[in-house]
Structure 1
Amino acid sequence: GEAPAGALFGALADMMQRPGVLPVLTFVLIFKLGDASMGFMVKPFWVDAGFSAAEIGLVSVNIGLVLSIAGGLAGGWYADRAGIFKALWVLGLAQAVSNLAYALAAWAIPLGGVPLPEHRALIYAASALESFTGGLGTAAFLAFLMAIVRREHSAAEYALLSSVFAASRSVAGWAGGLGAQAMGYAPYFLLTFFLAFPAYLLLPWVRRMLDAQARREAGTS
């Protein structure tokens, strides 16, 4: 209806007037780019490495979901204790480092063969690390989004920021298939580690917006 559309338009107009909003929106777009770029190619890698659908479902999906939730809870606790800004870069770094575990697994495990016990240990560890640290990074990211929306139209601003984030995941999924096919899994997973770092260049603007919003909330409370 018109009311939700009007609320979204008002929230967008208000957001675009904020100082430093474009670097912050770019940060929202790319903070989880490395994580998403790898995440879309994890299942194809498991399949190509010879693991069964049942094994993928148990380890990568079911156990992965539990570890993601655990990571989310741990990340929320850390963001609460350390502050959102510190949580963003510390947990974002943990999220990026986990991509190296998959790069190592892709380098060590031959494609198209029968997985050996050491291959299983390696890919299980990489999967566990990726799921847990992905939860850590997501917790910090969602805490950040909630901290920068303005109280008077928080739902509309949160929806807009979530849409920006979703756009990056769509691009990452499309580019991931092309990248892994062109480079091979191990070099591609290594590349996704480095994709995490452009967002760090935007942290000064992120800090300024967090500080400005905290001052605004303190002034209106």
Structure 2
Amino acid sequence: MTSAETGTERRRRMPRAERERQMMTIAEAVFSERGYAATSMDEIAERVGVSKPMIYEYFGSKEGLLVACIRQVRSELQELTAQAVIGAQSPEEALRRGLVTFFQFTDEHRRSWELLLRTETAVVGPAAVAEIEAARQEQIKLHIALFSAYMPGADQLVLEATAEILVGACERLSVWYVRHDDVTPEEAAEHIMRMTWFGLRGEVQRHEGHSE
């Protein structure tokens, strides 16, 4: 058996889930380096060490591969932020924990975060745009659930608006944050806390007073 045949056989034996993860890891890096429009499936296939038709077989299209990458980022971020607030003793602690975890994610997974931030909505398809928005909506729902736990009976529109503002602020500050290696996740979180917690604290205290 030739070395080429041996390599081909080894690729065939890799479990599908493991192969998908390998493809997405490499694709994520290429998308982040080059941007969606400039990324070629040929380069991704070459880096993975498989044929281009195999990638199409797994993901259907370049957009399908991008969507899979974004979905994985979205799932990881959602799980990390949800876990971070478990056991918090106050709404302030819960919010700060969630924010620090968010900025730690952007710091430790810069390729993943850049993939979300740098995806050009003008050139990607609707499925990728929808997946990016779904990532935002998951974070918004998480914040609404957190606020609701500490502000029972609060107006739903107020909760929704507050969550939208917070997620938007985090996203924009993260763009600034990844350009400043001298800023820690905790310091970035404090910038958001100073701008948002003052108003939130008043709402929490008002609803705590009503519940007595």
- If the TM-score is normalised by the length of the shorter chain, which range does it land in? 0.3 to 0.5
Q: Which has the higher contact order (CA 8 A, sep 6+)?
A: 1
Structure 1 or 2: more helix by fraction: 1
Normalization by structure 1: what TM-score? 0.40
Which protein shows a greater Rg?
2
